[in-house]
Amino acid sequence: MDSIVVTGGQRLNGTIPISGAKNATLPLMIASLLTSEPVIFENVPDLADVNSLIRILTNHGVDYRVEGKRRGQQDLTGRTIHFSAEEIADTTAPYELVAKMRASFWVIGPLLARMHEAKVSLPGGCAIGTRPVDLFIASLEAMGAEITVEGGYVIASAKGGLKGAIYEFPKVSVGATHVAMMAATLAKGKTVLKNAAREPEVVDLATCLISMGANISGVGTSTITIEGVENLHGCRHRVLPDRIETGTYAMAVAMTGGDVLLKGAQPGLLQEVLDVLERVGVTIEPVNDGIRVSRNGAALKPVDIATDPFPGFPTDLQAQFMALMTRADGVSNIQETIFENRFMHVQELARLGAKIALDGQHAEVTGVAELTGAQVMATDLRASVSLVIAGLAAEGKTTVSRVYHLDRGFEHLEEKLSNCGALIERVSG
Ligand code: UD1
């Protein structure tokens, strides 16, 4: 298993290109199941999760084609991929494929909408809590689906097709909003989703569905209305920039000091995070082609945060922010409100010398003058990158093992950081 070795103490200076958002790419790819015509996505990141989902989609009968390099293109990041679900060959998503990544469960929406049946294994994914699927089931049942859970599979059918419904989510869920919205595009009549997620990735999916011919309004608010249509058609869509990657590198620069242009980043996608970083003492400057993040030698101020659905502070940046706060000049409080078990990075950060007291969903972080390099273990996607960030500022060498977690969601991490002066390398083993 590969490890990443970071030697801390270097400031970051230069440019980091921001990739297409993983969390937008996955539902967009799944939406290709809704139409027999080709859908083409630009700016698709080259990530293990994208490749896992390709395996799932091809099992359903989707053909795909990656566009080759074009004249003048520097490298193959931000690929353009064509997906074509001309015919759905299989409506079952088997355990071996779904277990790797929770989002693959989301195929249930389009399969049910287009084929009126689906059999999808209960999901796997990051071990950050129990993560049930009750909201998916309830919203699809509201649209007339009959659903049973047997032998680890969710088996759904909608004879004669799904029907429009009014459904209020008891809790905000990004995945369940994606799925209900996709399912409703082909349902008969009007669907109103209340307490829907407002995340930019939901907006990106809706924008794509609208270009495919769907009739959707209210996107970006907590009430989304979908008027079902007979068929959807193909389209071309550019994936929005990754706000979690943007926030992660902004925090890395905050940690080490330096001056970096996050190229292609859009401030509106993470305003709350940028505001918090400014309070910490980081200089944030939106520029034409991205966001410039810099910090001179000034101390990091402690700031309290609580994670929240968008537009609040994203849970996917909680671990990275905690890493940053381990070096703040004072005590900060971090409250995780989305997932019940998302503090697995705490004991690993402690190995680097961080002082963190945990009490349920709350962490009290007392900043220390220095972190010291150590061997640590990646436990989930965002937690692993928090260890890299901490390692960038630690004295000596930090070795992060189990980096397959990182490969699920961060494109060319070592390259992007080392181009800005970080001492970071991947060691195979
Ligand atoms: C998505 C993101 C993930 C992010 C999360 C919250 C992708 C691929 N993943 O995950 O990176 O951390 O949003 O912003 O986009 N819940 C239920 N029942 C359900 C569904 C969810 O109780 O049926 C709960 C979850 O356990 C969690 C909360 O709702 O406590 C929010 O989860 P949700 O928004 O669904 O997360 P994901 O869509 O899985």
> What residue's CA is closest to ligand 1, atom 8?
23
Distances (CA, A) of 315 to 50, 77, 308, 359: 21, 26, 7, 17
Per-residue model confidence (pLDDT) at position 130: 54
Q: Is 167 in the pocket of ligand 1 (CB under 6 A)?
A: no
Task: Indicate the number of domains in the chain.
Answer: 2
The mean pLDDT of 223-235, rounded to a whole number, is 98
Find the range with the poorest average confidence among 127-136, 206-215, 297-306.
127-136
- pLDDT for position 251: 98
Distance 340 CA to ligand 1 centre (A): 11
If asked whether residues 10 and 46 sit together in one domain, one would say no
> Is the pLDDT confidence value at 237 over 70?
yes
Confirm or reject: Cβ of 27 under 6 Å from ligand 1.
no
- CB atoms < 10 A from the CB of 347, how many? 14
Ligand 1, residues 171, 173, 384: which to mutate, most atoms within 8 A of Cβ? 173
Note if the bond before 241 is cis, omega within 30 degrees: no
Check pLDDT > 50 for residue 128.
no
Region 78-83: what's the mean pLDDT?
94
Q: What number is the average pLDDT over the span 218-235?
A: 98
Most confident of 122-131, 139-148, 335-344: 139-148
Q: Is 307 in the pocket of ligand 1 (CB under 6 A)?
A: no
Residue 124's pLDDT is what? 60
- Determine the pLDDT at residue 373: 96
Q: What is the extent of the structural domain holding 144?
A: 22-238
pLDDT mean over 145-154: 93
Identify whether residues 11 and 108 lie together within a single domain.
no
Which of 238, 258, 281 represents a domain boundary (last residue)? 238
**113 & 89 share domain:** yes
pLDDT at 374 over 90: yes
pLDDT at site 76: 62
Same domain? For 205 and 258 the reply is no
Residue 340: is its pLDDT beyond 90? no
Say which CATH number the domain at 76 has: 3.65.10.10
- What is the average pLDDT across 384-413? 93
One-letter amino acid of 77: T
217 and 340 both lie in a single domain: no
Beta-sheet strands, E only, within 160-222:
166-168, 190-194, 215-217
176 C-alpha vs ligand 1 centroid, how far in Å?
8
Please give the angle made by the CA atoms of 387, 259 and 75, to the nearest 5 degrees. 75
Q: How far away, in angstroms, is 177 Cα from ligand 1 center?
A: 10
Counting Cβ atoms within 10 Å, is residue 36 exposed (0-12), middle (13-18) or buried (19+)? middle
Average pLDDT over residues 119-130: 68
Q: Which atom of ligand 1 is nearest to the CA of 103?
A: 8
Last residue of a domain, one of 211, 238, 265: 238
CA–CA distance, 203 with 24 (Å, rounded to integer)? 9
Weakest-pLDDT range from 52-56, 68-72, 204-208:
68-72
End-to-end CA distance of the chain: 5
Residue pLDDT, tens place only, 249-288? 999 999 999 999 999 999 999 999 999 999 999 999 999 9
Q: What's the confidence (pLDDT) of residue 337?
A: 95
Q: Which of 84-93, 102-111, 122-131 has the lowest mean pLDDT?
A: 122-131
The span from the CA of 28 to the CA of 235, in Å, is 11
Distance CA 283, CA 203 (A): 28
Across the chain, mean pLDDT equals: 94
Q: Whose CA is nearest to atom 29 of ligand 1?
A: 173
Residue 210: strand, helix, or coil: helix
CA-to-CA separations, 17 to 152, 361, 412, 419, in angstroms, rounded = 41, 34, 10, 11
Rounded-to-integer distance, Cα 180 and Cα 108, Å: 10
Neighbours of 217 (CB within 10 A): 12
CA 153 – ligand 1 centroid, Å: 19
Residue 126 known to be catalytic: yes
Residues 37 and 155 in one domain: yes
pTM here? 0.96
**Which has the closest alpha carbon to 202: 186, 215, 191, 218?**
218
Ligand 1 pocket, residue 174 CB under 6 Å? yes
Please tell me the predicted confidence (pLDDT) of residue 417. Answer: 97
The Å distance, Cα 173 to ligand 1 centre, comes to: 5
Q: Scanning the structure block, which residue is given the tokens 């068929």?
A: 231
Domain end, chosen from 187, 216, 238, is at 238
pLDDT at residue 82 tops 70? yes
Token digits of residue 426: 């991947």
Strands (E), 198-249: 215-217, 223-227, 235-238
Mutation test of ligand 1: which of 30, 101, 131 has the most ligand atoms closer than 8 Å to its C-beta? 131
Whether 285 and 405 map to the same domain: the answer is: yes
Instruction: Output the pLDDT for position 131.
Output: 63
Q: Report the C-alpha dihedral over residues 393, 333, 169, 139, rounded to 10 degrees.
A: 40
Cα-only R_g, the chain: 22
